[in-house]
Amino acid sequence: MNTIDKIRSLFVLLPQRDINIANEFLNKRDFPNLKDLVDSDVIKAYDTLLKLMPEDENGECSEAYIRAQVIYNDLKDLQALVDKQAAAFEIDEVEYYE
């Protein structure tokens, strides 16, 4: 599976409203905007994870917390793939202004 297919396969982890937008960005190879979208969804997933976290260290983890943790970890994998692709489009500001 190539990188584009791997990225597309992980879109199922995104919120439903973002999947079509992510596909459009990927189809256009607009990795900087795709990166922004995925970064935003990773932050939202982390916030959800924090809200579901047990009150104390020895507290039992709920099924919802475990599911949120899996989604967050998989979104971090997606983020790493997208970041790698977006890096090729980033301009070194120092070089740009010289």
Question: What is the pTM assigned to this prediction?
Answer: 0.83
Average pLDDT over residues 38-53: 94
Q: How many CA atoms, within 13 angstroms, populate the side-chain half-sphere of residue 88? A: 7
The rounded distance, in Å, linking the Cα atoms of 38 and 18 is 9
The rounded distance, in Å, linking the Cα atoms of 10 and 81 is 10
Q: How confident is the model at residue 54 (pLDDT cuts 50, 70, 90)?
A: confident
The rounded distance, in Å, linking the Cα atoms of 49 and 35 is 21
* Residue 35: count of CB within 10 angstroms of its CB: 20
Q: How confident is the model at residue 97 (pLDDT cuts 50, 70, 90)?
A: low
* Residue 71: count of CB within 10 angstroms of its CB: 17
